[in-house]
Amino acid sequence: MRRAVVKEWYGGTCEAVENFIAHFNKILDENVDPNKAKEIFSLKPKALIVPHAGWMYSGFTANLAYRIASNTKPKRVVVIGPSHRVPFRGISTTLEDVYETPCGFLPIDREFAKELIEKFGVLNLEEVHQEHSTEVQMPFIYHYFGEIPVVELIYGDYEPEKLKDIIEYALNDNSLVVISSDLSHYYDLKTANALDYNCLQAVQDLDLNALERCEACGKIGIAGMIMAAREMNLTPLIVDYRTSADVSGDTSNVVGYMSAIFI
């Protein structure tokens, strides 16, 4: 069983998780025009880019993308995030049986994970899978999709072109692909906004040149997703952008968060 290690980032209990999500959705329902909401929540994304900080700061941004994606019925969810704790070269998947969340267990699609190992040289390094970039996504997935199978991919030093091939393979087998990434870290608000604009532009325009000017811990994942979107004719849509200053009020030292969908 893949056990959670940063439960406090999303409240630690099922009640806290559900309260967070209810709060995020209450804000949406009270502030988005009903006609626009109907249009937005009828979209059917094939892939998402979402942040991975504590839910207090980035949860609203991630929740919006997941709420839209709940309109779809994928075979599985493939969650792809950068390794923050263990430096390594390559990309790894876990072959545990289930993934723990506060509200229940998500079955791990071991057969699909084994396909990725065989076809793409994906590694199985269980020690790298104590990773918050993917873990904080799992309670959202359980809330919106129930006990859907998941595949967790953690990358270190890895070529975006290779990740693109994995993303395309997953999408072609009716997976929802989730790319996990925060944006700039620990700049003043004005500088962060300027840096993050490059990330937003890169995703919106599927522009790898703009991505070179983007600072994001999941930049490899974003690059792979842009490449796959270009080849598969997916249309990107930025659905939210904000920084930690929106919650903390501290504009001197912020982290940027974006969520995007691909339809």
Q: For residue 3, what pLDDT band results from cuts at 50, 70 and 90?
A: confident
> 242 lies in a domain?
yes
Q: For residue 159, what pLDDT band results from cuts at 50, 70 and 90?
A: very high
Q: How many domains does the chain have?
A: 1
Q: Could you tell me the CATH number of the domain that includes residue 214?
A: 3.40.830.10
| Helix (H) / strand (E) containing 258 | strand 254-262
Question: pTM score, two decimals?
Answer: 0.97
Residue 42 pLDDT > 90 = yes
Q: How far apart are CA 216 and CA 199, in angstroms?
A: 8
SS3 139: helix
* Other Cβ atoms within 10 Å of 25 Cβ, number: 14
pLDDT tens digits, residue range 197-254? 999 999 999 999 999 999 999 999 999 999 999 999 999 999 999 999 999 999 999 9
> 30 lies in a domain?
yes
Instruction: Determine the angle formed by the axes of helices 219-232 and 160-172, rounding to 10 degrees.
Output: 50
**Which segments within 160-248 are labelled E, that is strand?**
175-180, 185-187, 236-243
What pLDDT shows up at residue 157? 98
Q: How far apart are CA 150 and CA 128, in angstroms?
A: 17
Domain span at residue 210? 7-262
The average pLDDT across 54-80 equals 98
What pLDDT shows up at residue 2? 79
> 2 lies in a domain?
no
Q: Give the chain's mean pLDDT.
A: 97
Residue 167 pLDDT > 90 = yes
Q: What percent of the chain has pLDDT over 70?
A: 100
Residue 5 vs residue 61, higher pLDDT:
61
**Both structure tokens of 54:** 């504590």
Residue matched to tokens 């509200």: 103
The average pLDDT across 155-163 equals 98
Q: For residue 37, what pLDDT band results from cuts at 50, 70 and 90?
A: confident
Backbone dihedral angles phi then psi of residue 106, each to the nearest 5 degrees: -100, 125
Is 49:203 a contact under the CB 8 Å cutoff? yes
SS3 219: helix
What pLDDT shows up at residue 29? 94
Residue 189 pLDDT > 90 = yes
Residue 34 pLDDT > 90 = no
Best CA proximity match to 262, nearest among 5, 19, 2, 72: 72
> 252 lies in a domain?
yes
DSSP letter assigned to residue 2: B
Best CA proximity match to 49, nearest among 79, 75, 93: 79
Q: How far apart are CA 67 and CA 148, in angstroms?
A: 15
Residue 85 pLDDT > 90 = yes
What pLDDT shows up at residue 5? 85
SS3 229: helix
> 37 lies in a domain?
yes
> 1 lies in a domain?
no
Q: How many CA atoms lie within 13 A of 144 on its CB side?
A: 24
